[in-house]
Structure 1
Amino acid sequence: MVPLQHLRLCLCLPLLLLPPPAAPAPVPHPSTNWAACRTLSRELSRLLATLKEPHRVLEETHLSEEDPKNWPPRIRCSDACDPPTLDTNNTRCLQRILQGLQQYRDLLGSDIFTARPLPQLEAALDQLLGLIQQDRGRPPRRPVAPSEAWAHPLLQHLALQRLQSFTTIMSRVFTHSAR
């Protein structure tokens, strides 16, 4: 009887030494239409590229204010928007994109753009938001802090400059994920 117990132990020991099975990779949200998001993000980039700066002195100006209060987030390395991570889990990156788009949309609807409304840009943002936030719900709007009228051209320039950077990275994410 003892040799039989040793045989069982010998057969079971390798199973105990195996690492635990890896957790299944998260499945992308089924309602995300990556191809449509890619198309709309490219359209948004095109619209931003066609905008003309009304104040010529600001054309070559690059403002470097560190994260003004209530301003949209940037996509950072820690947001997991790199291709290898997107292939396994795109939730975190998609959440950051959604958060940024919502805040840029709120910014375009704020007093900063009262004198210079950009309806085509707002419409493109709305369409892209609609595609991404299906079944996710929209968090409450965060009002943008009122600003002085003299600062509006500078803030518009900063907002559009940041939106263009955000859109460039976002388009790369959608292009990669739409493959």
Structure 2
Amino acid sequence: MAPLRRLCLLLLALLLPPPAAPAPAPLRRPDWAACRILSRELSRLLATVKEPPSALEGMQLLEEEPQNWPPRIRCSDACDPLALETNNTRCLHRIRQALQHYRDLLGSDIFRDQPQPQLETTMEQLLRHVQEGHGRAPRHPLPPTQVWEQQLQRHLALKRLRSFAAVMSRVFNHSAR
């Protein structure tokens, strides 16, 4: 009787569907309204950063390779309003990359003479909102720069950060609606 019972249980197990695997926890979406407020605050703070008037405006350092360029939002990142409605993963990934890059720059020796604690704090808060569901981003120390190039590097970093912040604000402004 026992072998017949085992056979019946085995057939029953084969006929029943397998137990459903637990659904993966959905990644939380960023708080778009908070991101919009923080990105506007970042832009406002960037406008208040005072740089000495200089001849740096026309100067540029030659950048060796495109892979060393700072992250920037491209058309392929799908940050346009239509793409954001359906899938914002690529866009948020690019924004996360850029925020991490600029956060690391603000903590580097480039800004040692002119620290920007409010800017760093606002950027860290914004990064925390964009990071939700992805863990905390580690800091990546940047290699030291020569003293003679720090002012130029700082100027270029602020210029690029202002440009990035303007585009990022548009993304968050649209998404917060």
TM bin, normalised by shorter chain, reads: 0.7 to 0.9
Question: What is aligned with 1:151?
Answer: 149
Q: What secondary structure sits across from 1:143 in the alignment?
A: coil
**CA RMSD for the aligned pairs?**
2.1
Q: Distance in 2 between matches of 1:70 and 1:140?
A: 19
Say yes or no: does 1:63 pair with 2:74.
no
Q: 1:140 aligns with which of 138, 142, 146?
A: 138
Deviation at 1:146, TM superposition (A): 1.2
Query: Cα offset for 1:54?
Result: 2.0
Distance 2:136 2:70 in 1: 16
Task: Tell me the CA shift for residue 130 of structure 1.
Answer: 1.2
The match for 2:51 is 53
Residue type at the aligned position of 2:131: Q
Total equivalences in the alignment: 151
Quickly say closer, same or farther: Cα 1:106–1:112, change in 2 above 3 A: same
Which ranges of structure 2 fall in alignment gaps of 5 or more residues? 1-25
2:173 to 164, 167, 175: 175
Point out where structure 1 has 5 or more consecutive residues left out of the alignment.
1-27
Aligned to 1:11: none
Q: TM-score, normalising length from structure 2? A: 0.78
Counterpart of 1:95 in structure 2 is 93
Q: In structure 1, what is the Cα distance between the partners aligned to 2:162 and 2:62?
A: 16
Query: For 1:5-154, what aligned pairs fall within 5 Å after superposition?
Result: 29-58=27-56, 60-61=57-58, 63=60, 65-66=62-63, 71-154=69-152
| 1:22-80 residue CA offsets vs partner (Å, 9 max, x unmatched) | xxxxxx9534100010000000001111112124333x436374467755311111111
Distance 2:98 2:71 in 1: 6
Structure 2 CA distance for partners of 1:30 and 1:51, relative to 1, 3 Å: same
Question: TM-score of the superposition, structure 1-length normalised?
Answer: 0.77
Offset of 1:125 from its aligned partner? Answer: 0.3
The alignment-based identity, stated in percent, is: 63
Inter-CA distance 34–46: structure 2 relative to 1 (3 Å threshold): same
